[in-house]
A = this chain, B = another copy of it.
Amino acid sequence: MPTIFDVAQAAGVGVGTVSRVLNDSPAVSDSTRSRVLAVISALDYRPSSLARGLSLGTSNIIGAVVPTVTHPSSMERLHGVLDELGGSGYDLALYQVEGEEQRSSRIRDIVRPDRCSAGLLVSLRATPDEIFLMVRAKRPVVAIDGYIEGLPGCHIDNVAGGRMATEHLLALGHRVIAFVGDVEDDLGFNPGAARFEGYRAALRGCHVPLRDDLIKTGPSCRERADQLTGHLFDLAEPPTGIVATSDTQAFGVMAAVRSRGMEVPTDVSVVGFDDLELAGHLGLTTVRQPLYESGVLGARMVLQQLDGHRDGLDVVELPLEVVVRETTAPPNNGSALYGA
B93–A61 CB distance below 8 A = yes
Contact residues in B for A225 (Cβ distance below 8 Å): 281
Interface check A216, CB cutoff 8 A: no
* Partner pick for A70 among B59, B79, B91, B112, CB 8 A cutoff: B79
Interface check A206, CB cutoff 8 A: no
Please, what's the 1-or-0 string for A10-50, where 1 marks a CB less than 8 Å from any CB in chain B? 00000000000000000000000000000000000010111
A222–B281 CB distance below 8 A = yes
Contact residues in B for A280 (Cβ distance below 8 Å): 222
Q: Which of A62-103 contact B (CB under 8 A)?
A: 63, 69-70, 72, 75-76, 78-79, 82-83, 91-96
Given contacts A50-B54, A95-B91, A281-B221, contact A112 B1 (CB under 8 A): yes
- Determine the distance from Cα of A131 to Cα of B247 in the docked complex, in whole angstroms: 41
A114–B255 CB distance below 8 A = no
Name the distance in Å between A288's Cβ and chain B's nearest Cβ. Answer: 16
* Partner pick for A82 among B69, B222, B278, CB 8 A cutoff: B69
A96–B114 CB distance below 8 A = no
- Determine the distance from Cα of A255 to Cα of B49 in the docked complex, in whole angstroms: 49
Given contacts A76-B70, A79-B70, A280-B222, contact A51 B54 (CB under 8 A): yes
Name the distance in Å between A184's Cβ and chain B's nearest Cβ. Answer: 20
Report the interface size for chain A: residues with CB under 8 A from the other chain.
44
Given contacts A51-B54, A91-B115, contact A69 B75 (CB under 8 A): yes
Given contacts A82-B94, A92-B94, contact A49 B114 (CB under 8 A): yes
Interface check A265, CB cutoff 8 A: no
Interface check A213, CB cutoff 8 A: no
Please, what's the 1-or-0 string for A310-327, where 1 marks a CB less than 8 Å from any CB in chain B? 000000000000000000
B70–A96 CB distance below 8 A = no
Contact residues in B for A53 (Cβ distance below 8 Å): 50
- Determine the distance from Cα of A222 to Cα of B325 in the docked complex, in whole angstroms: 13
- Determine the distance from Cα of A76 to Cα of B69 in the docked complex, in whole angstroms: 8
Interface check A298, CB cutoff 8 A: no
* Partner pick for A93 among B83, B92, B112, B283, CB 8 A cutoff: B92
Known: A49-B59, A70-B277, A251-B282. 12 other contacts (CB 8 A): A1-B114, A54-B54, A69-B79, A69-B82, A70-B79, A75-B75, A82-B94, A91-B93, A222-B280, A225-B281, A255-B282, A259-B283
A residues with CB within 8 A of B: 1, 46, 48-51, 53-54, 59, 61, 63, 69-70, 72, 75-76, 78-79, 82-83, 91-96, 112-115, 221-222, 225, 248, 251-252, 255, 259, 277-278, 280-283
23 intermolecular pairs with C-beta atoms under 8 Å apart: A1-B112, A1-B114, A46-B112, A49-B115, A50-B50, A50-B54, A50-B59, A50-B114, A63-B91, A69-B75, A69-B78, A69-B79, A70-B79, A70-B277, A72-B72, A75-B75, A78-B94, A92-B93, A93-B93, A94-B94, A222-B283, A251-B278, A255-B281
